[in-house]
Structure 1
Amino acid sequence: MPESPEVEALAEFVAANVVGRTVASVAVAFPKALKAGDPSALIGCRVAAVSRHGKLLDLALIGPDDRDAHLVVHWGHDGWLLWHDVVPLDAKRAGQATLMARVRLHDGSGFDLTDAGQWKALSMFVVSTPAAVPAIAKLGPDPTDPDFTVDDLARVVSGRRKQLKALLQDQNALAGIGNAYSDEILHAARLSPVVHASALSPDDIGRLFAATRGILSQSMDDRRGLAPDDLKDDKRANMRVHRRPGADCPVCGGTIAEIVFSGAAAQYCPTCQTDGVPLT
């Protein structure tokens, strides 16, 4: 699933191409993707801004009657956006992925919302305010927010008997981190993915804060300016431990290991993160 650095870069790309333009049509090709609202309400609306809430994309629009509208997209596991300088007439295809919806602007440009996964999980919400989307209403603090402090992180982890990797991915606890960046953050912080958050010392929390801010900020800088087609590949190419079991650790030269737990996998360095002890 795209995480905050990729969605931030995507929001910036979309904003540069759609702000000030008017929606001509919205075609929902996969009806189950629409979770709330009527897409026809967006027709004739002008795009005012594009922003990110955690891992969700938000297009803010203003109607001819000055009413506010928002198209919010939750990507699921394999959702993405395909940009068109000129939207094709054929509304049945979106590259190798399944076309979920197509938005056409008055100048002929536009974009497809796609899902390449077996289980189609991309979701669309047409609402008057982003807070009407349950996933946004329940979001925890965003660690990339300049006002987010180490004390805020301490409050998130305090008393939580939850494995640290799972907590980092919990959008109700922290917004924007998923499977890939949780591995990268824990490696940089030298923390085990399975340690309970409640067991962290103040020094551990300090390292976790620095790693979280550092990894996400650097990744946002790395992704900035890339087109949607390039974002995922660039993310994968810059992973240090995620999806690299068997490779050499770039810090200590040890071997990256993998553990599967709670239906998910984590990649980590035993030498850097678990005192040389492989997790089982």
Structure 2
Amino acid sequence: MPELPEVESLSRFLGERLVGRSVARVYAVAVHALKTYDPPLSALEGRVFEGVERRGKFLDFGVGGLHLVMHLGRAGWVRWSDRLPEVPPRPGKGPLALRVRLGDPGDGAGFEVTEAGSQKHLAVYVVRDVLEVSGVARLGPDPLSEGFTVEAFAGLLAGESRQIKGVLRDQSVLAGIGNAYSDEILHAARMSPFKLAARLSEDEVARIYEAIGRTLREAVERARGLALKDLKAEKKSGLRVHGRKGEACPVCGDTIREVSFSDASMQYCPTCQTGGKVLADRRMSRLLK
């Protein structure tokens, strides 16, 4: 799933190429992905791109007073093309969900939004105010914003009875962190993913706060300047524990372990994070002592 660093890179890449250019045609290939109907998608045609911003894991395209907002879900992506096919796309079973063709004379450039796999979570909205998208309206603070201080972070955790892994992934608490980067942050902070947020000491809160900023900023910097087609590979190569079950921890050399859930999994290092304890598979609903 694209998370904050990848969506940040997407917004920068697309903003450099779209601002000041107009929309010629918008094709909704996967109608199920379109979550709004007023204004219609066609209302974007003839309008000019004013900016592209990241809001958590959402992409927000400002287009002539309207907002084209996207959440890429688990397997969505954006592909840029300097020359899109002339033939309009046909709805079908392929990955193409949306095509936006630019309107500059003789241009033909634009971008396509795709979604792989059988589970469809891609969401596209056209709204007058970005806060009309409920997922955007409920977002917590952005962890890369200037106002996100260690004191603000401590305030978010106060009274939280949930495990810290779940808190970091909750978009209403912090915007943009998902399964992969929460694993990376907790590994960098040397913290068990099962530790209750409300029971963290002042030092532990500070360690996680520092790991959030460092992990996300390093990931954003690694992706700077890369073509869109290279961002997924860069993300995977830059992860130290997530998706690396059975490999050696790059810090201590212990074997990276995994906890599986019904629809996801997380990875961690016992030596670095849990005092050597191996966490049981959550499907077993217990912790190995």
Normalised TM-score (structure 1): 0.95
1:79 is aligned, of 76, 81, 85, to 76
1:44 is aligned, of 21, 46, 50, to 46
Q: Which position in structure 1 is the counterpart of 2:179?
A: 179
Q: Which one-letter code corresponds to 2:119 in the other structure?
A: W
Give 1:137-216 correspondences, 5 Å limit: 137-216=137-216
Q: Which position in structure 1 is the counterpart of 2:287?
A: none
1:54 is aligned, of 53, 56, 70, to 56
In structure 2, relative to structure 1, the CA distance for the partners of 1:263 and 1:194 (3 Å cut) is farther
- Say which SS state the counterpart of residue 160 (structure 1) adopts: coil
Q: Which one-letter code corresponds to 2:254 in the other structure?
A: G
Give 1:1-280 correspondences, 5 Å limit: 1-36=1-36, 37=38, 38-62=40-64, 68-92=65-89, 98-106=95-103, 107-261=107-261, 263-280=263-280
In structure 2, relative to structure 1, the CA distance for the partners of 1:189 and 1:277 (3 Å cut) is same
Question: What is the aligned residue count?
Answer: 274
Asked whether the 8 Å contact 2:183–2:242 carries over to 1, the reply is yes
Find the aligned partners of 2:149 and 2:164 in 1 and give their Cα distance: 18
Find the aligned partners of 2:90 and 2:246 in 1 and give their Cα distance: 38
What is the aligned-residue RMSD (CA, Å)? 1.5
- Say which SS state the counterpart of residue 101 (structure 2) adopts: strand
Find the aligned partners of 1:97 and 1:202 in 2 and give their Cα distance: 50
Runs (4 or more) in structure 1 with deviation over 2 Å come to: 89-94, 261-264
Q: Which one-letter code corresponds to 2:153 in the other structure?
A: L
Report the CA distance between 1:32 and its aligned residue: 1.1
Asked whether the 8 Å contact 2:258–2:267 carries over to 1, the reply is yes
Find the aligned partners of 2:223 and 2:183 in 1 and give their Cα distance: 18
- Say which SS state the counterpart of residue 46 (structure 2) adopts: coil
Find the aligned partners of 1:162 and 1:93 in 2 and give their Cα distance: 46
Q: Which one-letter code corresponds to 1:222 in the other structure?
A: R
Show CA shifts across 1:135-161 (max 9, x none). 000000111112210011111111111
Q: Which position in structure 2 is the counterpart of 1:65?
A: none
- Say which SS state the counterpart of residue 272 (structure 1) adopts: helix
Find the aligned partners of 1:207 and 1:262 in 2 and give their Cα distance: 30
In structure 2, relative to structure 1, the CA distance for the partners of 1:6 and 1:269 (3 Å cut) is same
Structure 1: stretches of 5+ with no match in the other structure:
63-67
User: How high is the sequence identity, in percent, across the aligned residues?
Assistant: 48
Find the aligned partners of 2:261 and 2:121 in 1 and give their Cα distance: 22
Structure 2: stretches of 5+ with no match in the other structure:
281-289
Q: Which one-letter code corresponds to 1:144 in the other structure?
A: L
